[in-house]
Amino acid sequence: MAKILSGLQPASVFEYFEAISEIPRGSGDEERLSNYIKQFAEDLGLWVHQDQDFNLIIKKPASPGYENAPTVILQGHMDMVCEKREEVVHDFTKDPIRLVVDGDNIKADGTTLGADNGIAVAYIMAVLADKTLKHPAIEGLITTGEEVGMVGAEKLDGSLLSGKILINMDVENEGEIFTSCAGGVRAKIQVDIKREKAQEGMTACEIKLSGLKGGHSGMEIDKKRGNANKLLGRVLYDISKSMGVQLSCISGGAKMNAIPRDSRAIVLVEESKRHELGAAISSWEKVFQKELSGADPHLKLELHQLEGEFDIICPKDAERAISMLVMMPNGVMTMSQEMEGLVESSSNIGILTTAEAYVEFDSAVRSNIKSQKLSIVTQMQCMCKALGATLELEADYPEWEYSKDSYIRDVFIAVYEKKYEKKPLITAVHCGLECGIFKEVIGDIDIVAFGPDVHDVHTPDEHMSISSIKRTWDYLLDVLESIK
């Protein structure tokens, strides 16, 4: 069977990326890929350790002349966010990612690509396999569960690593060197509900909001894209107050760390007000299209009548749930005062679900400053107290603080300036990298993060630049060769 990426350079990087794209690797389903990479390392005769969470540590000796150079940890995560277009048939637990080459870009056929962070895994495998490279001793560190709270990194046995330099490759902007990142926490709010039978003469309808671009809730949170859950909350608040529409259920989004692209609600309305509801939905569609004309030009808000009987959430509980959705913090909260253009803190209502006895709001809260993260959580706690809801915090991970002195950062800058005759952008990122956790589980290590151009991660529009992958690979090899 012909390989889609055959002929692209660097050949080994694309060969490994295509190989791992054939193996399902959603968060929590990394065992098969972990076993594949473990076998890859064993076939090369390298030392490899696989822990119970399927994290991998692979060690390769220094090349001749680099025996006294400091050991370097090359790091990436193997899990990916599994998102697809609504009409696409794809089972992420069974089907390989269908790769497409489009000019200078590699993308997937209607699904997320998994370049976040599969390209780092491919880079690491290519370095480990190539016996011609000049480099210090290498420790390949490939983690699991990054996309759902960095659970693999948190359980890592840091004593198995001897490297004092770590190069994280979970970055999507070529030419940028990251030196700090946000910390975060997963916040789950539940509003308890009771159900009751709908009154006679009520018509059931589905309100569906779709066509939004979505995106990574850290990297794209400043793009002013619509959050489908939040937008639908505004609609529900209006129609419940103005025409007594009753709520049966509401749901939206697929991942707490992805900006939701669609959301839906089932409501019941008096038959005499059915046309009034339709007019209200049309009006709200125009409002949203005007508000988001630049960021989400394909937004649609539709109303469809449903057949059958539906119970409703009792009105007082529905009011509490809708009020929670309207008031919950979402989007950019604060901007950095020290680094121009950097989002400092944010929140994203990523998943909204309705169960038999509760409505749940699942959010990703991020901040580069710990106190700001705590401030957003405190706001949620006060809302829960006022509305009689509960808040549960999960996967709380630390920020990676900027270090004034960094040998590896200086190496990256010097190599970049020599190679391109210009300075790289030294910056921070408003998304959670595992670097803060590594500081805790490994110890005092010198860290930088970088990577090739990858766009629209966490969405079916995800794509990466072929030429950028080549340049970034060459840059990485030059950096490794310069570490003495």
First-to-last CA distance in the chain? 43
Q: 3-state SS string over the chain?
A: CCCCCCCCCCHHHHHHHHHHHCCCCECCCCHHHHHHHHHHHHHCCCEEEECCCCCEEEEECCCCCCCCCCCEEEEEECCECCCECCCCCCCCCCCCCCEEEECCEEEECCECCCHHHHHHHHHHHHHHHCCCCCCCCEEEEEECCHHHCCHHHHCCCHHHCCCCEEEECCCCCCCEEEEEECEEEEEEEEEECCEECCCCCEEEEEEEEECCCCEECCCCCCCCCCCHHHHHHHHHHHHHHHHCCEEEEEEECCCCCEECCCEEEEEEEEHHHHHHHHHHHHHHHHHHHHHCCCCCCCCEEEEEECCCCCCEECHHHHHHHHHHHHHCCCEEEEECCCCCCCEEEEEEEEEEEECCCEEEEEEEEEECCHHHHHHHHHHHHHHHHHHCCEEEEEEEECCECCCCCCHHHHHHHHHHHHHHCCCCEEEEECCCCCHHHHHHHCCCCEEEECCCCEECCCCCCCEEEHHHHHHHHHHHHHHHHHCC
User: Helix axis angle, 370-387 relative to 315-327, nearest 10°?
Assistant: 160
Active-site residue, 146 included: yes
Is 238 an annotated catalytic residue? no
Residue tagged active-site, from 18, 30, 79, 434:
79
Q: Specify the length of the chain in residues.
A: 484
Q: Which candidate in 18, 146, 172, 461 is catalytic?
A: 146
Active-site amino acid positions: 79, 146
